[in-house]
């Protein structure tokens, strides 16, 4: 198994498990926790909205990493490109982690920007690499 694809699949699955668990915490806060009415009333703005954004983007970017890894393993992507596509895909996970760090730790949104740019570069680079790929060997 190529290390590049394996890194994305393993990281994607572990991050997805974490953000799924986080989603269950959000469900608890919305449906079962004391003061759930206040949570529901504030769900569309502020920290509550950011929490939902982090959950959704965390699972999406984790799934994208699983997809990136699978495609890197199965399709003819040159090794050098595959390594950088893999790395930028994993770095893309900084976006949802950055959203979490913004509202939990008060950090500036730098991680969000780095992660967003990285996942865009990863997906675009993979698309360009596959555009040039010779699929007759697949």
Read off the tokens for 13: 């699955």
- 3-137, which class in CATH? mainly alpha
Q: Torsions phi, psi of 63, nearest 5? A: -65, -40
**Per the confidence metrics, is the pTM higher than 0.85?**
yes
State the distance between the two ends of the chain, measured CA to CA, in whole angstroms.
16
What does the radius of gyration of the chain's CA atoms come to, in whole angstroms? 17
Q: pLDDT for 8-29, tens place per residue?
A: 999 999 999 999 999 999 989 8
Where does residue 35 fall: left (phi above 0), alpha (psi -120 to 50 degrees), or beta otherwise?
left
- Domains of the chain, by residue range, sit at 3-137
pLDDT confidence of residue 97:
96
Q: pLDDT for 80-124, tens place per residue?
A: 999 999 999 999 999 999 999 998 999 999 999 999 999 999 999
* CB neighbour list of residue 14: distance below 8 Å, 6 or more residues apart: none
């Amino acid at each position: 198994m190529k290390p590049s694809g394996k890194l994305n699949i393993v990281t994607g699955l572990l991050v997805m498990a974490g953000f799924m668990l986080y989603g269950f915490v959000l469900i608890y806060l919305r449906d079962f926790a004391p003061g759930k009415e206040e949570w529901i009333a504030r769900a569309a703005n502020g920290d509550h909205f950011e929490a939902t954004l982090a959950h959704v983007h965390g699972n999406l970017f984790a799934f994208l990493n699983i997809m990136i890894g699978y495609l890197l393993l199965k399709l003819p992507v040159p090794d050098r490109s595959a390594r950088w596509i893999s790395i930028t895909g994993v770095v893309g996970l900084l976006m949802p982690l950055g959203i979490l760090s913004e509202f939990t730790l008060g950090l500036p949104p730098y991680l969000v920007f780095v992660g967003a740019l990285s996942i865009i570069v990863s997906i675009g680079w993979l698309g360009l690499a596959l555009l040039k790929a010779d699929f007759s060997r697949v």
